[in-house]
Structure 1
Amino acid sequence: MGDLIVEPHDIFGDGVNIAARLESIAEPDGICISSSVYDQVQGKVGTEFGDLGEQHLKNITRPVRVYTVATSGSPDAATSSDSAWTSTWSPRLSIVVLPFANLSGDHAHDYFVDGVTESLTTDLSHISGSLVIGRHTAFTYKDKAGRS
C-alpha cells in the first residue's frame, strides 16, 4: 500500500518500491507484506501472519515492519497468534551471501562478481527449510571494509 503513479507502460511510487523490496526478502514461493497492508487485512482474511520485525529496505528511508504470510506449508501455520508463530519456528540453516570482491582491479568485471553473488544467493534459497537473506540486503555491505 502506498502512493502510486500509473503511466501507460510503467508504475512508480513508494508502494511499488516497498513491494519490490519485500519480494526480494520473501522466502521462495512466500509472501511478505508491510505493516500498512497487515493493518488493513488482519482479522479480515483467514490467514495467519508471522512478524519479521522492522527491516531496513534498500532505498527506503525508514525501517518497515514486515510480516510473512503463513501458508499451509509454512511452519506452524495452524498457530493462532503471531508471536507464537515466530517464536516456535526457526530455520535449520540461516545464511547470507556477502558480495564478492573484484580482485582483478578492472571495474569492468564488477558485473561478473555481482552476478556470482546473486546466482549463489538464488541457488541457496532453494534449500528447503533454510533462510537466505535477500541479495538487496546483502549488497548494502558491498565495498565496506571490516567484514567478517
Structure 2
Amino acid sequence: MTISLLAPEDVEAIVEQVWSSLLEVEPAFGPLPDVDASAGETWTATVTVSGPVAMLIATAMPREAAVDVASRLLMVDDPTTEDVADALGELVNVLGGNLKSMLPGPSTLSLPVTVTGEVAPPSHAEEQGRCVAVLDGRPISLTTYLLDPGAVS
C-alpha cells in the first residue's frame, strides 16, 4: 500500500517554482525513463526529513545535466566537480525544504549529500512518489521515500 502524503501535482509545482527561481528554466514533465546509470555517470543528491514523517528525498541526473545545473546555479561556464556537488546539494536542499513544509511538523531537514552514482534507499523505505522533469532534453528525477511507512496512519 502506498501512502500518498505529497500529491504529484504539488511536487511538480514545487519543482517548477524552484527551477524557475534558481535555474531560470521551466521544466517539462513527462513519462520519461528513470535516470539510467548504464548510460554514463549519474549524480545523485539527497536530504532526509525527520519528524512525524521520516522521508528521504533524492534527485538524480546524468552528468551532463548536473554540470548544466551547476553552470546555471553558480553562473560559471566550466564548473569543477566540487562546484557540481555544491550546486546539486543546494538544489536538493531547496527542494527538500519546500517539500518538508508540506509535511506534518515539526520536522528537521538534514544536510544534503551528493554522490556520483545512484543512492539505494534503505530496505525498509517505501517509494512515495517520483517526478521526472527534462532539462535540455535530459531527464532529472525527484523521488521521495517514506523511511518509516508503518508510522504513518
Same fold, TM exceeding 0.5? no
TM-score, structure 2 normalization: 0.28
Larger Rg: 1
TM-score by length of 1: 0.28
Which structure has the higher relative contact order (CA within 8 Å, separation 6+)?
2
